[in-house]
Structure 1
Amino acid sequence: MSASHGTAASPFKQPKAVWAVAFACVISFMGIGLVDPILPALAESLHATPSQVSLLFSSYLIVTAVAMLIVGWVSSRFGAKRTLVIGLVIIVVFAALAGTSGSINGIVGFRAGWGLGNALFIATSLAVIVASASGGFGGAIILYETALGLGIAVGPLLGGELGAISWRGPFFGVAVLMAIALAATIAFVPSLPKPQHRTSPLAPLKALRHRGLLTMGIMALLYNWGFFTMLGYAPYPMELDAHQLGLVFTGWGLLVAAFSVFFAPRLQARYGTAPVLYANLLGLGIVMAVIATGVSTPGVVIVAVIVSGAFIGINNTLTTQAVMLVSPVERPVASSAYGFLRFIGGGLAPYVAGKLADATDLSVPFYVGAATFVLAIPVLATGHGLLRRAEQQTVDGPPVTATLTPVGAAAAPGTPPLIVAVGAHDRVAVIVDAAAQLARDAGSPLEVVHVQQTAVVEEQAVDTEDTEQARAAVTVHLDRLAAHGIPATGQILTSVGDHAAAGRVLAQHASDVHARTVAVGRSPRGPLAQFADGSFTTALTHAADCTVVLVDPDHSPRPLTAATLTELRNSPA
């Protein structure tokens, strides 16, 4: 997130490297939903039972889970681009081999290899897109979210269309599309610098010693158990062909994408992460119980599966944010540890569900899935205090996911400061200097607040800059201002995923220090992104007791009112 840019940038004006990886992301996100429409056809064509076919999910997810433990080690040694390319090569090879297989056991084995490639890809794709973006990462995040939504929604549709021709179609389709993405990645993505220090393969396992991360990981394991039980077994009682199944899961995917991007941040901002997750897990338990009781009625199962997409979208986003909030370790290590547990749950569930279905009837796996959703609630409750403290909940307002850290000397008591909020972009120095002139004219000291964000998209998170980079950026501003005789202090505003929460934290800080004015620049993210996860400037303006001023170096500063905010959102890039 950037609190201010000199000019607004379209998220779709990105270099070819970003587009290449975004295309690969679309295909990767198709991976799970793509095979759902062909599950009954696979069982019939290869004379396999549903429990045997379910191993397509188990092998894929268990290998993905184990691979999550080493992806940080691999990436820190080979670099993000090479890791990404290796993952894409593995996906192309094993997807093609799955399409040529003549037995269910062969497909299960090749799906395991596919899972290895997928782990390498998903662990680096978001970081590569952010690193390759031009004009700030806000647009790249929007593009990544778009790719995710397209992949989730279009995967089942494409799987249904290709599966209607042959069950081999989806596998060959992925191989061809990923081969195109591989060629584009090699051609357009530049070599990226390796991390400054290498990650130990044992680091994710050691990280699970931390109570907060372990609690969230176990909760995610239980959640994914129920989720992949539904995904692996719901197609059978629907009694639909591949094309029809593709349409059903496309509807499901659209709800997953919409609720993860647009609604989850707003619910979190209003009620807090833990309360929303409690209600959401209970909702999923009810939906699964409905599937179990109505398993003999295809219409009930179809509607329940589509509705579950809303709950799943919310859960995916907020669980990842919660992990990043409570984890005291580096983001990549926390992500690997969390991914290991959640994918283990997803991998074991279809196997166990198959055994239960064979021994009893098809409703039992869904009842067990409903129980795991509900059981996740008390598990999450054991970490409620940790999560609440991590959110920095205020007495009179909603929980927030942002904190302030001073940089340099503390402000001298006395005259209230003028605060300027900035992000990392090419015109930041001009914004700070314009705010410094306002402070000088008003006879106020200046406080520079640098906004640093952990971007959270679905089940992935990446730091857009580390703490040292943010601290260095603030120090540069302070040194430049000191050279011109302008008294200034600095702060780093760290935010996890939620732009609006960062705006509310800054408003509260401005009130605490009795600031006269808060200056911000023009938002680069556009109305769609601001609707999705909240607007920093809008939240700041609504919550601040003091004047909020738009600092545009090309125009005179002006107070931000509701009319001004509307004008800014509708203005062209």
Structure 2
Amino acid sequence: MHEEPADKPGILRQPVSVWATAFAAVVAFMGIGLVDPILPAIAKGLDATQSQVSLLFTSYFLITAVAMLVTGWVSSRIGGKKTLLIGLTLVVVFAALAGTSDSVGQLIGFRAGWGLGNALFVATALAVIVGAATGGAESAIILYEAALGLGISMGPLVGAVLGDMNWRYPFFGTAVLMAIGFLLISTLLKPTPKPATKTRLSDPIRALGHGGLSTTAFTALFYNYAFFTILAFTPFILGMDAYGIGFVFFGWGVMVALCSVFAAPFFQRRFGTVRVMYTALALLVVFQLGIAFSGHAGIIIFTILSGIPIGLNNTAFTEAAMEVSDAPRPVASAGYNFVRWLGGAIAPFLASKLAEHINSDVPYYVGAACCVVAIGILVTRRRHLESLSRVDIDHTFQDAPLPAKA
């Protein structure tokens, strides 16, 4: 009989402040997929083209990406809690204003303001959860990815239910939910200590000089292009009402959540983080080509299945960015997210333009090609990710049972 190790705190046994932050994170990530079911309705209601409506994603993620560079500078000066509350306030204000839009230009502008608030909140939320959660950084990242998966899966359903009544209602609904998150964090989260060293504005860019972080970030840029081609463009080719689109992306989001929280850690421990990335990127190539070559039923099936590699990669890339760099986690996260969200900003608009000028299959060919480029970056720069293999080995030894006593 071997001696049992001391009980470690379960991933679900967390301080109430962690759950309050996680709830607000769920709502923040709901905002990503919230507009999916109502994209056709917005285009019709505001007399806009697909590419114009796609700018709702582009403005949101472009501002989110750029704002990532200042989140650490802000939070290191006013503290994590105040940064979270400022971010939530901006989301509440601009989500509510988005619901009052009379033109697609106004809506795009309000989504940009929403993206600023979301960047301040999301980047800081990860650091706050890592700092306050029990069970170490790995458990905290899994909780964060669980919030991401749940938010992304619930967003389309909420968007469908509210959007079926009026395309404006999902924006008002998000404002209300984020206001609740504001109240929870303001009352349940204790003031977070300011770091001993203040973050400079240039620190996230400097951090990208690290070979491992830059490799992870630029691989994620091409991966995110493929990710957001599916998320932002597919609603236009499904030919379904808000409920139909909402349920398709709910199924997709469930796959994202399950694979982020359960499958990714399982496969990382057995095969290593980098091999998980290779496999997930290859699967995403297959599923995107499946969407391009399929009829209506096939598009639905492959869209839902694409949530599997996306869930695997969301966790694998986030952990890689946190582990591979020697920069402080908030700084590494800011640099990584700045680069990767650029992929989310470019994909929706370019995919819509390609469809308008060529045909609706081409965006998925380009998305598949981006995954191939991402695999190529991993192959050619694999030496920069050797430290991840050591981390995976450490995790394997930590989880192994203790040897039996003689």
Q: TM-score scaled by structure 1?
A: 0.67
Change (3 A) 1:141 1:382: closer
What pairs with 1:352-431 in structure 2 (closer than 5 Å)?
Answer: 352-392=350-390, 400-402=392-394
What pairs with 1:330-341 in structure 2 (closer than 5 Å)?
Answer: 330-341=328-339
For 2:135 and 2:271, locate their aligned partners in 1 and report how far apart those are by CA, in whole Å. Answer: 33
For 2:135 and 2:370, locate their aligned partners in 1 and report how far apart those are by CA, in whole Å. Answer: 44
Output one character per residue of 1:378-437: Cα deviation in whole Å (capped at 9) or x when no partner: 111122123234422xxxxxx8253xxxxxxxxxxxxxxxxxxxxxxxxxxxxxxxxxxx
Q: Is the contact made by 2:37 and 2:246 (CA closer than 8 Å) also made in structure 1?
A: yes
Greater helix share, structure number? 2
Alpha-carbon shift at residue 161 of structure 1 (Å): 0.5
State the partner residue of 2:320: 322
Q: Which amino acid aligns with 1:27?
A: V
| 1:501 lines up with 2:362 in the alignment | no
Alpha-carbon shift at residue 502 of structure 1 (Å): 4.4
Out of 305, 316, 323, the residue aligned to residue 307 of structure 1 is: 305
Alpha-carbon shift at residue 25 of structure 1 (Å): 1.4
Q: Which has the larger radius of gyration?
A: 1
Q: What value does the CA root-mean-square deviation take over the aligned residues?
A: 2.3
Output one character per residue of 1:11-31: Cα deviation in whole Å (capped at 9) or x when no partner: 35633x333222211211211
For 2:135 and 2:307, locate their aligned partners in 1 and report how far apart those are by CA, in whole Å. Answer: 34
SS in 1 for 2:201: coil
What pairs with 1:271-310 in structure 2 (closer than 5 Å)?
Answer: 271-294=271-294, 297-310=295-308
| 1:11 lines up with 2:12 in the alignment | yes
Alpha-carbon shift at residue 331 of structure 1 (Å): 1.5
Q: Is the contact made by 1:91 and 1:118 (CA closer than 8 Å) also made in structure 2?
A: yes
Greater strand share, structure number? 1
| 1:161 lines up with 2:56 in the alignment | no
More divergent stretch after superposition (353-362 vs 89-98): 353-362
Alpha-carbon shift at residue 188 of structure 1 (Å): 2.2
For 1:362 and 1:278, locate their aligned partners in 2 and report how far apart those are by CA, in whole Å. Answer: 27
Q: Is the contact made by 2:11 and 2:134 (CA closer than 8 Å) also made in structure 1?
A: no
Alpha-carbon shift at residue 228 of structure 1 (Å): 0.7
Change (3 A) 1:140 1:221: closer
The answer for unaligned runs of 5 or more in structure 2 is none
Output one character per residue of 1:540-566: Cα deviation in whole Å (capped at 9) or x when no partner: 33xx4x53xxxxxxxxxxx9xxxxxxx
SS in 1 for 2:35: helix
Alpha-carbon shift at residue 145 of structure 1 (Å): 5.1
SS in 2 for 1:70: helix
Output one character per residue of 1:234-263: Cα deviation in whole Å (capped at 9) or x when no partner: 011111110111111111011001011111
For 1:89 and 1:38, locate their aligned partners in 2 and report how far apart those are by CA, in whole Å. Answer: 24
Alpha-carbon shift at residue 140 of structure 1 (Å): 6.6
What pairs with 1:510-529 in structure 2 (closer than 5 Å)?
Answer: none
- How many residues get paired? 403
Q: Is the contact made by 2:50 and 2:352 (CA closer than 8 Å) also made in structure 1?
A: yes
SS in 2 for 1:190: coil
Output one character per residue of 1:321-373: Cα deviation in whole Å (capped at 9) or x when no partner: 22233323222111111101100111011121222222111111111111101
SS in 1 for 2:355: helix
SS in 2 for 1:61: helix
Alpha-carbon shift at residue 127 of structure 1 (Å): 3.0
Change (3 A) 1:310 1:107: same
For 2:11 and 2:76, locate their aligned partners in 1 and report how far apart those are by CA, in whole Å. Answer: 32
Q: Which amino acid aligns with 2:311?
A: G
Change (3 A) 1:379 1:243: same
For 2:136 and 2:315, locate their aligned partners in 1 and report how far apart those are by CA, in whole Å. Answer: 22
| 1:540 lines up with 2:396 in the alignment | no
Alpha-carbon shift at residue 144 of structure 1 (Å): 4.6
Change (3 A) 1:187 1:115: same
Change (3 A) 1:169 1:282: same
What pairs with 1:168-183 in structure 2 (closer than 5 Å)?
Answer: 168-183=168-183
For 2:228 and 2:123, locate their aligned partners in 1 and report how far apart those are by CA, in whole Å. Answer: 20
State the partner residue of 2:111: 111
State the partner residue of 2:268: 268
| 1:35 lines up with 2:35 in the alignment | yes
Identity across matched positions, percent: 51
Alpha-carbon shift at residue 146 of structure 1 (Å): 4.5
For 2:135 and 2:195, locate their aligned partners in 1 and report how far apart those are by CA, in whole Å. Answer: 22
For 2:172 and 2:361, locate their aligned partners in 1 and report how far apart those are by CA, in whole Å. Answer: 33
Change (3 A) 1:110 1:213: same
For 1:158 and 1:317, locate their aligned partners in 2 and report how far apart those are by CA, in whole Å. Answer: 24
Q: Is the contact made by 2:11 and 2:135 (CA closer than 8 Å) also made in structure 1?
A: no
RCO higher in structure (CA 8 A, sep ≥6): 2
Q: TM-score scaled by structure 2?
A: 0.93
For 2:281 and 2:379, locate their aligned partners in 1 and report how far apart those are by CA, in whole Å. Answer: 12
Alpha-carbon shift at residue 265 of structure 1 (Å): 1.5
Q: Which amino acid aligns with 1:340?
A: F
Change (3 A) 1:140 1:372: closer
SS in 1 for 2:401: helix
For 1:361 and 1:32, locate their aligned partners in 2 and report how far apart those are by CA, in whole Å. Answer: 25
What pairs with 1:10-159 in structure 2 (closer than 5 Å)?
Answer: 11-12=12-13, 14-15=15-16, 17-132=17-132, 144=144, 146-159=146-159
Change (3 A) 1:318 1:171: same
